[in-house]
Structures are given as C-alpha cells and as structure tokens.
Amino acid sequence: MVKQFLTILAVILCTAVFGQTGITFKESNFKFGKIKQNKPVTHEFTFTNTGAKPVVIEFANAECGCTTPEYPKNAILKGQSAKIKVTYDAATPGVFKKNVNIKFAHEQLPTVLTIEGEVTTGQKG
C-alpha cells in the first residue's frame, strides 16, 4: 500500500514538473494483461517536447534486471516526439509491476513509467 502511494505521488510530482518544462508523455502506465512465460513483451512510451528548448535524456533505469529500457541518446527538439521502449523478459510466472525512471537533463525529478501484467505458464492447474 505504501509502495503504491509513493509511486502515485512520484507520478503526480513528475507530471507537475514536466507540465512546467514542456515534456508531455502520451501515457505513463501500460498494462500488458496476461502474457506467456519466457515470451518477452515490449511497449513504447511516446513523449513530445512541447517546450522551447531541446531536451536530453540523461538515463533510464529499471528497478530490476528483468526490465530493459531503451531511449534516444540525441536531443529531442522543440515540437518533436520520441519513444522510450521498455521490454519485460517474462521469465517468472505471476503478477508484475515494474517502474522505469527517466531522468531528463536539467530536471530534478525523474519521470516514472510503469508496466504491469501477469505472466502465465500456459499450464492448467
């Protein structure tokens, strides 16, 4: 419960910060639903630079090795959109919820992107 509250609080704070700087994400949370074990899944989070200056992503960190973010290394100019690709390896059966922190240059707080779903074994119990 506390973890969920902190995640929601981080998203609200990041939304407020990015609303001021001109970085707008189409979505910050994606639900895969049920996926098969050992079949990696990927989602692309799209964002737009609506500010006056170019933006650069300093880093993107996942909270575990099962989640891999890929992000553009070049500056995103005013009016341009870009994508951050997040892949989950789906090796472990069960429900998952993973966060990826995106740190933009000249910003104090990272943006938190979340993926979630359930990995199934495909076997009937």
Residue the block writes with tokens 């994508």: 83
Residue 35 sits in a domain whose CATH number is: 2.60.40.10
Q: Flag whether 57 is in a domain.
A: yes
> What would the DSSP string read from start to end of 83-101?
EEEEEE---S-EEEEEEEE
Question: 74 lies in a domain?
Answer: yes
Residue type, 100: V
- Any domain includes 23: yes
- pLDDT bucket at 2, cuts 50 / 70 / 90: low
Q: Which domain holds residue 17?
A: 2-120
Residue 125: inside a domain: no
**Per the structure block, which two tokens stand in for 30?**
């994606």
In a domain, 41, yes or no: yes
What is the CB-side half-sphere exposure of residue 4 using CA atoms within 13 A? 3
* pLDDT tens sequence across 50-67: 999 999 999 999 999 999
| Whole-number pLDDT of residue 95 | 98
| Count of domains for the chain | 1
In a domain, 71, yes or no: yes
Residue 43 lies in a domain: yes
- Cα–Cα dist 48/17, whole Å: 15
What's this model's pTM, rounded to 2 decimal places?
0.80
The span from the CA of 42 to the CA of 92, in Å, is 16
Going across the sheet that includes 41-49, the strands are 23-25, 41-49, 81-88, 67-70
Residue 116 lies in a domain: yes
